[in-house]
Structure 1
Amino acid sequence: MPPNRLTDEELETLSTRLPEWTSDGTTLSREFRFADFAAAFGFMSEVAEIAESLDHHPDWSNSWNRVAVSLTTHSAGGLTLLDLALAEAMDELAGRVPGGPTPDA
Structure 2
Amino acid sequence: MSREPLSQKEIEDRLRELPGWSFEDDRIIRTYRLGGHVAASALVSHIAAVQEELNHHSDLTLGYNTVRVSVNTHDAGSRVTDADFALAERVESLAPSHGAA
- Normalised by the shorter chain, which TM-score bucket? 0.7 to 0.9
Structure 2 alignment gaps of length 5 or more = none
TM-score, normalisation: structure 1: 0.85
CA distance in 1, matches of 2:25, 2:68: 18
1:69-88 pair list within 5 angstroms: 69-77=69-77, 78-88=79-89
Structure 1 residue aligned with 2:63:
63
CA distance in 1, matches of 2:86, 2:25: 16
1:1-105 pair list within 5 angstroms: 3-24=3-24, 26-77=26-77, 78-97=79-98, 100-102=99-101
Residue 87 (structure 1) shift? 0.6
CA distance in 2, matches of 1:12, 1:72: 15
Contact 2:44 2:60 in 1 (8 A): no
Percent sequence identity over matched residues? 34
Contact 2:21 2:28 in 1 (8 A): yes
**Aligned letter for 2:100?**
P
Residue 75 (structure 1) shift? 1.2
CA distance in 2, matches of 1:25, 1:67: 18
Q: Which 4+ stretches in 1 moved above 3 angstroms?
A: none
**Aligned letter for 1:63?**
G
**Aligned letter for 1:94?**
A
